[in-house]
Chains A and B, each alone.
Chain A
Amino acid sequence: GNSVTQMEGPVTLSEEAFLTINCTYTATGYPSLFWYVQYPGEGLQLLLKATKADDKGSNKGFEATYRKETTSFHLEKGSVQVSDSAVYFCALISSGSARQLTFGSGTQLTVLP
C-alpha cells in the first residue's frame, strides 16, 4: 500500500533560520504529492503541491521538488518566521482507482524570535 514517512519532530528554529523537513513516500504508479500546514486550533490547509516528477511546488516562501528517483518531496524555506510555527504534513494521492489521500505523521515546527 501507499505510505508517507516524515522526519520526526519537534523542530525548533530561530527566526530567519533555514528549514528542511524531509518526506519520503512509497506508492504504486505516479502519485501527486502535497504539503499541508495546520495552525493551532485549525484544520489542515494546502501549502503546496506537485503532480509529476521534477515539478517544484512553492508558496509563501516554501518549496518542495518531486524527486521520483529518490521518492522524496522535502519541504524547504530559506528564512523562517515566527508565524510559520505550525504542524506540517506531507501527503500523497495515488494515481490508481482508489485515489486515497495518505498522510505522514506530521512535523511540529516552532520558530523562536
Chain B
Amino acid sequence: DAGVIQSPRHEVTEMGQEVTLRCKPISGHNSLFWYRQTMMRGLELLIYFNNNVPIDDSGMPEDRFSAKMPNASFSTLKIQPSEPRDSAVYFCASRPETGRGTEAFFGQGTRLTVV
C-alpha cells in the first residue's frame, strides 16, 4: 500500500485565492483526520470523518475553511479566501476501525504558504 497520499506537497498562493488540498486515505480505513501544524500552535485537529461523515469539525478555524469526503477514497480541505495566517503544514491521516489500539497513518503533508 502506498500509504496516505496528499497533494500537492507544496503550495504557494496569493492572499485571497482559493486553495484546495487533497488526500487519499489508505484503502479500507474508516476514519480520516485533517490536522494543521504551525510553530506557534503545534498540531491542531481541524476535522474528523468517520465512514465519510464529518463527526467533529469544531477545530475548523472559521467559515473560510471547508472539508469534504465525497467517498471513502478521497477528501479535500478548501480555504476560500486564503490569508497569510493560514500558512502552515496540513496533514491528513487515516485509521481503520479494527480495534482499540490501531494507530493513525499520516501523509507527508502539504506545506501551504500564503503571500
Chain A residues proximal to chain B, CB less than 8 Å: 30, 32, 34, 36, 42-46, 49-51, 89, 93, 95, 98-103, 105-106
Contact = CB atoms under 8 A, between A and B. Distances in A.
B106 A44 contact: yes
A103 B43 contact: yes
B97 A44 contact: no
A55 B105 CA distance: 22
A106 B4 CA distance: 22
Given A100-B56, A101-B93, A106-B43, A95 B100 contact: yes
Contacts of B56: 98, 100
A18 B39 CA distance: 27
Contacts of A49: 101, 103
- Chain A CB count within 10 A is highest, among B35, B101, B109, for B101
Interface of B: 4, 31, 33, 35, 42-43, 45, 48, 50, 55-56, 91, 93, 95, 97, 100-101, 103-109
A62 to B, nearest CB: 15
Given A99-B97, A100-B45, A43 B103 contact: no
Given A93-B104, A99-B95, 8 more contacts: A32-B100, A42-B108, A44-B43, A49-B101, A95-B100, A101-B93, A101-B104, A106-B42
A105 B38 CA distance: 11
Contacts of B43: 44, 89, 103, 105-106
Contacts of A34: 103
Contacts of A93: 95, 100, 104
A91 B10 CA distance: 26
A56 to B, nearest CB: 13
Contact of B101 (A45, A51, A105): A51
Contacts of B31: 99
Q: Which 4 A-B pairs have the closest CB atoms?
A: A51-B101, A43-B106, A44-B106, A105-B42
A46 B107 contact: no
